[in-house]
Chain A
Amino acid sequence: MRYSFITPRPKKIVTPELKLVFFFFAMTLFILFATYGFLLYKSHQFSNEVTAINQRITDTNRSIVMMQKEIAMIKKSAAHFQNIATSNTVLKDSIKNLFDLVPERITLSKAVLEQNALILYGITPNKEVYEFLLQAPLRSIFHKTYSDFYPLENGWYRFVSTNYLDEEAL
């Protein structure tokens, strides 16, 4: 039962001085935790960036390997194409030289170029023309030369000239 003419004052545990101390402590803690949080966020961000960079490095390395492989393939292809071009050039020159070898009086009907052989089909007015004007240069180029003649009705000869290069000499 209430027996007092006045009511007791509320008892405050926290005095104004204590409030001030708590405020400064709270501010200090807030700043500490804010700094800690900021550093934590930045660290996490840097960690993510490092992971991303590492991933990019891995991807780049993988790309480099693939590109090196491609480069090797391209180089290989280029060399192959170079060889082909060279071969073609040689072949072209050979064909040109071959056709340059053929005198006007002999007519070629077919020419077969193989790796180590050249087979010529044509018509010659006579065997001497063939032997002096065509067979002689062919002999200087190929190691083995064989000629076969087939007489035609008009007195000319169809010939087949087979020429070989020795593989050992190459």
Chain B
Amino acid sequence: MGLTRVFERLYAKVYVVIVVLKEKVDVSIMTVHGENSTVSRVEFESSQIASALHDYVQEAIAETPFYYIGVLNNGINQGAIPTCHRHEASQYADISLCKTLCIRGSYMLYSSKYELDTIEKMFQSFGVDFIFSPFTLLERLYKDKIDTKAQLYVLMYEEYLAMAIFQHSTLLFASFELVDSGTTDTEFDDKGEEEAVVFDLEEEPDEDGISIDDLDALDDLSDLEDLDAIHELDDFTDETPDFSASSDTDTDAMEVIAPSMEDFGISYQHFLVIQKRLEAYYKDETYRSEFIENVYIADAHDSSDDLKRYLEEELFLNVVIRHVNIDDELLTLSMEEVQYAL
């Protein structure tokens, strides 16, 4: 052990963090030798994982045996639940095929074993030392704020969105989403499907009339009138139906509107997801429901100005946006994990 410590001082330490996005892969490499450290970042196309990315990482780690590869887990079958007991976990999620991680004895991170294996196989040429959950980043980014009242915390990077509600450092609710601007509706097919009526434009109205849930949904639709963006968009011509009278609107008219939602951009998709998940949180009795006034958004790609406006105008939330660098956070986390592992 002592000999290893000596060699650790002689060799440089290389921390590599990899963030796999939909169409690209961000790689950041930090080389630490004594007090000096250098960081380099490169973006690769997803198709270059097996060639250019491999060569780039191999070149960086060739000089030292003390290298650590960290990957941000973007598997869609992951999440966090407000318990560390597996027998209680089943009421929140099916974790039978998941690997779990208890954090501070307070809440549990879980991720599909298959997806973790996929990550390890993807980078098996140089191996993977750490696989981090985005919820870990979220908690670390707002560790000075989660010990207060119930607030929503969101981490956004590209098309991924991790959101969690903490109250007095206790997790109340968490959700991880892949927001695809082209297939937004397909993201709303899980346990909150009953609330998706607002955006499920294909659904026929109830023959017996309008239920209470539908009325709530209609309220949500009427809120959309307040969006200035909708009025300013050229695509919304005179054909745009009156949302306040949506109960009388036929399906064909709505089909005209549906494609135009894509033009709102990824921010609107994010807004829809957040709105959907908040609704699910409020209505799902499994979770301890607390009223959310504030939203803290950690934005990795400077794309949240519109989202802030949507949230403030539509959901009357106080939104605080913080621009973050996920790679730097992952590098810091990797260094701390190495200290912990040693």
Contact = CB atoms under 8 A, between A and B. Distances in A.
* Bound pair (A, B): yes
Most chain-A Cβ atoms within 10 A of its Cβ — which of B65, B70, B120? B65
A2 B341 CA distance: 8
B340 A1 contact: yes
Contacts, number: 57
B116 interface: yes
B164 to A, nearest CB: 14
A15 B236 CA distance: 65
A155 interface: no
Given A13-B7, A13-B65, A5 B101 contact: yes
Contacts of A110: none
B215 to A, nearest CB: 43
Interface in B322-342: 333, 337-338, 340-341
Contacts of B116: 5-6
B125 interface: no
Interface in B10-69: 11, 65-68
A8 B103 contact: no
The interface residues of chain B, by DSSP majority, are classed as: mixed
A5 B337 contact: no
Contact of B104 (A1, A4, A9, A12): A1
B103 A4 contact: no
B65 A6 contact: no
Interface size class of B (residues with CB under 8 A): 20 to 34
Interface in A1-52: 1-9, 11-13, 15
A6 B103 contact: no
Interface string B200-223: 000000000000000000000000
A12 B70 CA distance: 18
Nearest to A3: B136
B265 interface: no
Contacts of B99: 5
Contacts of B338: 8
Given A3-B337, A4-B337, A5-B111, A13 B4 contact: yes
A1 to B, nearest CB: 7
B65 A15 contact: yes
B160 interface: no
Contact of B65 (A2, A5, A7, A12): A12
A8 B340 CA distance: 10
B130 interface: yes
B130 A9 contact: no
A7 B68 CA distance: 11
Contacts of A13: 3-4, 7, 11, 65
B131 A4 contact: yes
A119 B55 CA distance: 138
B260 to A, nearest CB: 40
Most chain-A Cβ atoms within 10 A of its Cβ — which of B70, B333, B341? B341
B132 interface: yes
A6 B133 contact: no
Contacts of A8: 68, 129-130, 337-338, 341
A9 B338 CA distance: 11
A3 B127 CA distance: 18
B136 A6 contact: no
Nearest to A12: B65
A2 B81 CA distance: 17
Nearest to B129: A8
B73 A5 contact: yes
A39 B133 CA distance: 65
A3 B101 contact: yes
A80 B319 CA distance: 141
Contacts of B109: 5
Interface in B79-133: 99, 101, 103-104, 109, 111, 116, 120, 127-133
Contact of B132 (A4, A7, A11, A15): A4
Nearest to A14: B65
Contacts of A5: 73, 99, 101, 109, 111, 116, 131-133
25 contacts: A1-B104, A2-B337, A2-B341, A3-B103, A3-B133, A3-B136, A3-B333, A3-B337, A5-B73, A5-B116, A5-B131, A5-B132, A6-B120, A7-B341, A8-B130, A8-B337, A8-B338, A8-B341, A11-B4, A11-B65, A11-B66, A12-B65, A13-B3, A13-B7, A15-B65
Given A5-B73, A5-B99, 8 more contacts: A1-B103, A2-B340, A4-B130, A5-B116, A5-B131, A6-B130, A8-B130, A9-B129
Interface of A: 1-9, 11-13, 15
Interface of B: 3-4, 7, 11, 65-68, 70, 73, 99, 101, 103-104, 109, 111, 116, 120, 127-133, 136, 333, 337-338, 340-341
